[in-house]
Amino acid sequence: MTCLRELQGKMANDSHFNHDHGSRRRVWVPGPVIVGAGQSGLAAAACLKDKGVPSIVLERSNCIASLWQFKTYDRLRLHLPKKFCELPMMPFPEDYPMYPSKQQFVEYLDGYANRFGIKPVFEQEVESAEYDEGVGLWRVRSVGLKGDEMEYVCRWLVVATGENAEAVVPEIKGMENFRGVVHHTAEYKSGSGLRSKKVLVVGCGNSGMEVCMDLCNHNAHPSLVVRDSVHVLPREVLGRSTFGLSMWLLKWLPIRLVDCFLLIMSWLIFGNTASVGLNRPKVGPLELKGKTGKTPVLDVGTLAKIKSGDIKIHPSIQSVGNHRVQFVNGRVEQFDAIIFATGYKSNTPSWLKEKDMFSEKDGMPRKPFPHGWKGEHGLYAVGFTRRGLFGSSMDAKRVSEDIEKLWKAEAKHLSMTVGRSFTLQR
């Protein structure tokens, strides 16, 4: 505490403190520094502001919600009903549909940032954040587009860079020889440029399934690589959203029973998905989501296209050549394009110099949900729960409540110290 106040005073008065040894500008931030202006960063900043705690949001891109604005395909909609995706303190507009489109979702987030007066510092990529034991503060270093370097010094650091910060592309034998188009779903917008082309989509999560559907709608010929097993669920059951119904049932029933219910419903609606090459995991969909974070596919029509043969299913890729792909079952086929729908990963290992709270292996908090939001020395995480937007909102509330207490205690301490010195001076 003494160190902090000494440093604050020194920084305010000493021009040396506004630069480090190089040309990096140094700024003292009285409240938390939040890294990332996706929905997690915005929710954290809004909750803090609501509690009277000012914060600063650093974002590498030039806008809020860059994942949704730049790295998603045109046909994307929220796949959970809007009430499960709202950020704290601001519901979606009533005239929005149950599953808002990407544009509507981005507009909602823009409105959210405006409503809470959140103005992130854009084009600031955080390249390192390290706790300085000596002064008891975090040093957050960023670099701007023009190479301008900054150091933000703060007591609290909120990591909100997300589970989807970097695209994952697997290494495949011979991939460098492929002469067709290659994309990750983060770059895919629509199938309009792939009309009548043979396209191999690798990965059968929600992205892979939806991209296949989109390709069908644009008269391309998609094939899908399913390397293991997958739970495909109908998006709606008995006229209600499957997710909403599951959450409701979970109030009374254990997860395994709810999973049984979901599997029976899926069987009644789809029949046996294994007969078209989509084997189900041994563990039920909600239990698997809770244990591993693997999201079940919420079907938006892809399964019917698989059944009709418009989308072919293949096992893992063995090797790739010129235009040719060999699968592990020995089959060989020609393709014009390959789209990797192989998911995303966190990027914290590349910039967060910390080993206790975040795993260096996958960049996720080590503690299981719901304990992963808080670390040591004022370090927090928002949006690493593998529970979508609902998880981000939960984290943002917890983190802001925790920081509010420390902020108020600090303010009280400061006012007492100032009060005492005022009395002494008189």
Ligand X SMILES: Cc1cc2nc3c(=O)[nH]c(=O)nc-3n(C[C@H](O)[C@H](O)[C@H](O)COP(=O)(O)OP(=O)(O)OC[C@H]3O[C@@H](n4cnc5c(N)ncnc54)[C@H](O)[C@@H]3O)c2cc1C
- Asked if 295 is part of the footprint of ligand NDP (rule: CB under 6 A), the reply reads yes
* 3-state per-residue secondary structure call for 375-392: CCCCEEECCCCCCHHHHH
Residue selected from 35, 64, 80, 153 as contacting ligand 3IO according to rule CB under 6 A:
80
User: Which CB, 138 or 340, lies closer to ligand 3IO?
Assistant: 340
- Min separation Cβ 298 and ligand 3IO, Å: 6
Q: Which is nearer to ligand 3IO, 298 or 303 (CB)?
A: 298
Residues numbered 311 to 370 that lie near ligand NDP (CB under 6 A) are 316, 341-344
Considering the complex, what minimum distance in angstroms separates the CB of residue 57 from ligand NDP? Answer: 23
* Paired tokens of 217: 């709608």
The interface mask with ligand X, positions 243-282, x = CB under 6 A, is: ----------------------------------------
Of residues 79-138, those binding ligand X (CB under 6 A): 79-80, 85, 125-126
* C-beta nearest to ligand 3IO: residue: 388
Taking CB under 6 A as the criterion, the residue among 31, 162, 191, 284 binding ligand X is 162
Map residues 287-306 to x or -, x wherever contact with ligand 3IO holds by CB under 6 A: --x-----xx-x--------
Size of the site for ligand X (CB under 6 A): 36
> E strand or H helix at 340, and its extent?
strand 337-340
Question: Could you give the CA distance from residue 269 to residue 263 in angstroms, rounded to a whole number?
Answer: 10
Q: Can you give the C-alpha Rg of the chain in angstroms?
A: 25
- Picked from ligand NDP, ligand X, ligand 3IO, none, the partner binding residue 296 (CB below 5 to 8 A depending on kind) is ligand 3IO
Please report where in the chains the tokens 């949900």 appear, as a residue: 369
Cis peptide bond N-terminal to 370, omega within 30: yes
The backbone torsions φ and ψ at residue 101, rounded to the nearest 5 degrees and listed phi first, read -75, 170
The residues pairing with 128 across neighbouring beta strands, listed in sequence order, are 141
Classify 240 as helix, strand or coil: strand
The three-point CA angle 205-182-166 to 5° equals: 55
Tokens of 192: 């309009």
The answer to whether residue 40 forms part of the interface with ligand X (CB under 6 A) is yes
Tokens linked to 48: 């803090």
User: What is the three-class DSSP state of 337?
Assistant: strand
- Give the angle 255-261-263 at the CA atoms, nearest 5°: 100
Q: How far apart are CA 395 and CA 262, in angstroms?
A: 28
SS3 (DSSP) at 57: strand
Count, residues near ligand NDP per rule CB under 6 A: 23
Nearer Cβ to ligand 3IO (139/280):
280
DSSP state of 251: T
Q: From the CB of 17, what's the least distance to ligand NDP, in Å? A: 43
392 binds ligand X (CB under 6 A): yes
Query: 365, 388, 393, 397: which one contacts ligand 3IO (CB under 6 A)?
Result: 388
Residue nearer to ligand NDP on the CB measure, 6 or 228 = 228
Residues that bind ligand NDP (CB under 6 A): 76, 78-79, 170, 185, 202-208, 210, 225, 227-228, 294-295, 316, 341-344
